[in-house]
């Protein structure tokens, strides 16, 4: 009887998940494996800002009696697609979705031991492509990440091979944005912008890939989404959180493609966005820039909640590689339809630019 009482007492002395003190962990691995503590060089402690709630893996820390019960909120819906379990509200914020981190592999060399530098100077060929895909973007420091992006760009011809699926470039792109967003080191503005220049270099390879891979294609990764269609379809839509952004047109001189990439506005310093930032690329079938499309409109559709009929502002972005994004010009929608929950923005006819970047303001 005495032994049983002792064991019961021992069980109840163990803190529930997410309720224990972080300073009991003296090793980085133990600190991080708790799921709610952060390692600060030599000590383990708690997050203090609500903007870090998305980093937490232990949902118990956000519930009653948890260490973040007054700072963070447990999500109503969790998914095996992402690691998020807490946030600043009970609904997952697409801007901060965290895909699981694969810790096997290295950021400086492939599974066979070939370094990134060796792969880069080797003549791009298909039998090296698998080696590139085993280099781990998710664990890369910023300089390593930039080197990996250079490597992907160097192997453009291999990625454009018809047997290679676009997913491998998509994976590189969304893992790069997640790496940049979640990097806890203090990166300078030039470091961020240099990384983004290389990111958009790989994105340009992806757009070439899409033009030869499939006429119609769409895929979503919460904070980074891709779509392409032909002029003959007369519209393209790309989905975001609680909204859809569409482009429609009436006439075109000859056939080609409209390509769209949408991405998280918060990472690029935009806090007043109603939509994702959308990068549009209009090309002829031969891949050249194309503007002879008439009566193109941008249509915002709110997919949940109520909407007023007040006009909205659409802001164009001058440089997609710049952090923060800077507005170059703006246009105003027609009166929004509060029944259909749509707003329309009219673009010049024919287009004056084959590429443009925009978001719609709240």
Q: From the options 2.60.220, 2.60.120, 1.20.120, 2.60.40, give the CATH code of 214-362.
A: 2.60.220
Q: Which two tokens stand for residue 239?
A: 């989905």
Count of Cβ atoms closer than 10 Å to residue 246 Cβ: 18
How far is 62 from 56, CA to CA, in rounded Å? 9
Map tokens 């402690």 to a residue. Answer: 45
pLDDT recorded at residue 208: 97
pLDDT, position 263: 98
Series of mean pLDDT values for 10-residue runs along the chain (362 residues): 46 81 95 96 95 97 97 96 97 97 94 94 83 96 98 96 96 98 92 96 98 96 98 97 97 96 95 96 95 97 90 96 95 94 96 97 94
- Of 223, 242, 279, the residue nearest 95 (C-alpha): 223
Q: Which of 249, 221, 253, 244 is nearest to 233 (CA)?
A: 249
Contact 133, 168 (CB under 8 A): yes
- Boundaries of every domain in the chain: 14-92, 117-207, 214-362
297 Ramachandran zone, left/alpha/beta (phi>0; psi -120 to 50) = beta
Q: What's the pLDDT at 13?
A: 65
Length of the chain: 362
Residue 38: per-residue pLDDT: 96
Contact between residue 276 and residue 260 where contact means Cβ atoms under 8 Å apart: no
User: What's the predicted TM-score (pTM) here?
Assistant: 0.93
How far from 228 is each of 61, 235, 240, 253, 256, CA to CA, in Å?
42, 10, 16, 18, 10
């Amino acid at each position: 009887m005495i032994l049983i009482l002792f064991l019961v007492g021992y069980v109840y002395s163990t803190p529930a998940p997410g309720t224990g003190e972080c300073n009991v962990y003296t090793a980085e691995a133990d600190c991080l494996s708790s799921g709610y503590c952060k390692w600060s060089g030599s000590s383990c402690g708690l997050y203090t800002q609500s903007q870090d709630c998305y980093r937490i893996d232990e949902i118990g820390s956000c519930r009653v009696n948890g260490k973040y019960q007054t700072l963070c909120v447990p999500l109503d819906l969790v998914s095996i697609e992402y690691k998020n379990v807490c946030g600043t509200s009970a609904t997952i914020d697409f801007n901060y979705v965290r895909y699981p981190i694969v810790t096997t592999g290295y950021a400086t060399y492939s599974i066979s031991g070939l370094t990134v530098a060796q792969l880069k100077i080797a003549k791009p060929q298909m039998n090296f492509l698998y080696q590139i895909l085993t280099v781990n973007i998710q664990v890369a420091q910023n300089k390593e990440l930039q080197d990996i992006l250079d490597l992907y760009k160097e192997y453009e011809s291999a990625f454009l091979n018809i047997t290679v699926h676009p997913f491998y470039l998509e994976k590189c792109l969304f893992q790069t944005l997640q790496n940049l967003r979640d990097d806890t080191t203090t990166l300078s503005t030039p470091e961020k912008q240099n990384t983004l220049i290389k990111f958009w270099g790989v994105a340009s390879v992806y757009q070439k890939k899409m033009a030869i891979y499939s006429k119609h294609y769409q895929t979503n990764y919460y904070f980074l989404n891709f779509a392409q269609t032909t002029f003959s379809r007369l519209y393209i839509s790309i989905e975001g959180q609680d909204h859809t952004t569409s482009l429609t047109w009436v006439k075109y001189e000859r056939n080609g493609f409209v390509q769209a990439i949408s991405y998280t506005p918060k990472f690029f310093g935009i806090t007043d966005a109603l939509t994702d930032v959308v990068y549009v690329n209009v090309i002829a079938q031969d891949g050249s820039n194309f503007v002879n499309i008439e009566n193109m409109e941008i249509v915002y559709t709110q997919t949940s909640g109520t909407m007023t009929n007040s006009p909205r502002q659409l802001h164009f972005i001058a440089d997609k590689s710049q952090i923060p994004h800077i507005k170059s010009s703006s246009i105003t929608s027609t009166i929004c339809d509060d029944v259909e929950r749509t707003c329309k923005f009219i673009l010049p006819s024919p287009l004056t630019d084959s590429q443009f970047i925009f978001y719609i303001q709240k």
